[in-house]
Every structure is written in structure tokens, then in C-alpha cells.
Amino acid sequence: MKIAIASDHAAVDLKAELADWLRAEGHEVDDLGPATADRVDYPDFGYKLAAAVASGAAERGIALCGSGIGISIAVNRNPACRCALVSEPLSAALSREHNDANVLAMGARLTGVDMAKACVSAFLSTDFGGGRHAGRVEKLSQPAL
């Protein structure tokens, strides 16, 4: 699977560990940055990740920042993205099964490497359930204001 991954400075180490692990698992990983722990703004990298997923350049995305909150908000500004902030594997699986999430967000200050890998594994191995969820998911990309 082609996976785009991005973070802010607070999550650059977790991003590198996950990218290496995903490559070892056989996935194609596009690391969208940053390359160092120098201070950056998470919206810039969230928007970049969202564009990669929305355009089809990546099938799925992984968004990381200190808490996971800020970057998930940035990704979700793109109507083609459904980014789920999770901290454990069940939520990661349900985000796929019920919400057809195409981006997973986590907080590096809150989620350890092993738990992050478990979340990513659940996210990547779970299919969208469709059925009663399909109409709801479609509404997520077309908000009625």
C-alpha cells in the first residue's frame, strides 16, 4: 500500500520509526516531512498530507503531532479526507470499518511506539464495512450548511 506520512517537530522521531517499520512491512512510504526536529507549524504538514491523500498520490495517510489534535484538524479541512485521531487499536479499526477513514492521526507525546504500530496495523488491515455506514460517510464530504 502507498502511505503518506507527515508530522510536526514534536513527532518527527515517531514518524521516522513508523516510516521505517512500514517499509519493512512492505509498504511504499512517502515521508512528507519534516526531516528535522526544528520547529514547524503542524497545519502546513497536515495540509500537505491531506493533498497527497485527496489527489490519490497516497492510498492512506498517517498524521502525527504532539497531541495529534492539531494535525488532525488540519487534515480534516480537506473534504476528501476523513482523519481519525486515535490512541488505541480498536478506535483505529472502527475508524476504518464505520467511517472509512483514510488518514490516521496520533499524538507522539501521548502514544508510545508499540501502541502506535498497533494502531497503524489495525488501521491498515481493516476494510470499510459499507452498508448502513456508506450514506453517513458520503455526508462527511458534503456537509449541509
DSSP string, 66-112: SSSHHHHHHHTTSTT--EEE-SSHHHHHHHHHTT---EEEEETTTS-
Annotated binding-site residue? 121 = no
For residue 117, count CB atoms less than 10 angstroms from its CB and return exposed for 0-12, middle for 13-18, buried for 19 or more. Answer: middle
Q: Identify whether 119 is a catalytic site residue.
A: no
Annotated binding-site residue? 39 = no
Annotated binding-site residue? 82 = no
- Among candidate residues 27, 65, 81, 133, the one labeled active-site is 65
- Among candidate residues 81, 83, 98, 119, the one labeled active-site is 98
Annotated binding-site residue? 78 = no
Annotated binding-site residue? 133 = no
Annotated binding site for D-ribulose 5-phosphate: which residue ranges? Answer: 8-9, 66-70, 99, 109, 132, 136
Annotated binding site: which residue ranges? Answer: 8-9, 66-70, 99, 109, 132, 136
